[in-house]
Amino acid sequence: MHIPTLFEAIRQAETILSETLMGEVLIKTYHTNSTEIIQAIMSIDSAKFRKELQYDEDELKQRISKPGFWCIVAYLDGEPVGFDYGYDEEDGVFFSDSEATLIERKGIGRLLGILELLYLNEQGYRSLKFTTEEMDESGRPLREIWEKQGYIVAERYPDGGVDMMLEITQQVVAERVQKNLR
């Protein structure tokens, strides 16, 4: 199966999301700090996360300055509606620190996650890791949801946090691209 380049996949995702959301979707990637990225992430963070899960501007800038930082943001009609970002955790492992969308169940988060996988595959990462909760405040069993998508539990924490990991292989990337980018 052909795996598109990140650039090709971004164009496909923009087309899919523009049709689904009935507006103009633009997807941008970032590697460094900028006012634009800080504002985009903080506006979505404040709308989607409980206060204790939100990063303040200094914490966000600290994460953006980490080695290997990469962020992808989806804009609908010029306004940020979703993001996904992370950075190097250890050799070959990318820590996906935060992902959120303002519009749920329309494919924004799923497509940003696939684009993240394509980027990581192109950059030669072996694994993707992130921390989630066993269950969120609305009762969704987050760990189970991620396990059904092929992630494995790497570590559990007493507070209910769970580190999840996915091995990045050509097969994993190809299957997700084939299923979600047409």
Q: Tens of pLDDT along the chain (182 residues)?
A: 789 999 999 999 999 999 999 999 999 999 999 999 999 999 999 888 777 777 899 999 999 999 999 999 999 999 999 999 999 998 999 999 999 999 989 999 999 999 999 999 999 999 999 999 998 888 889 999 999 999 999 999 999 899 999 999 999 999 999 999 87
Q: Beta-strand (E) ranges in 102-160?
A: 127-133, 152-156
SS3 category, 150:
coil
Closest alpha carbon to 96 in 148, 173, 163: 163
Is the pTM higher than 0.75? The answer reads yes
- Each residue's pLDDT tens digit, 131-150: 999 988 888 899 999 999 99
Pick the CATH number of 6-180 from 3.40.630.30, 3.30.420.40, 3.40.640.10, 3.40.50.410: 3.40.630.30
DSSP for 14-75 reads: HHHHHHHHTS-EEEEEESS--HHHHHHHHHHHHHHS-GGG---HHHHHHHHTSTT-EEEEEE
Cα 137 → chain centroid: 20
Q: Provide the b/e sequence for 123-138 (b: ≥16 CB within 10 Å).
A: eebebbbbebbeeeee
Per domain, the residue ranges of the chain are 6-180
Residue 157 in tokens? 């924490």
Q: What is the pLDDT of residues 140-181, one digit of tens each?
A: 899 999 999 999 999 999 998 999 999 999 999 999 999 998
Q: Match 């996949």 to its residue by tokens.
A: 9
Phi/psi at 26 (nearest 5 deg)?
Answer: -125, 135
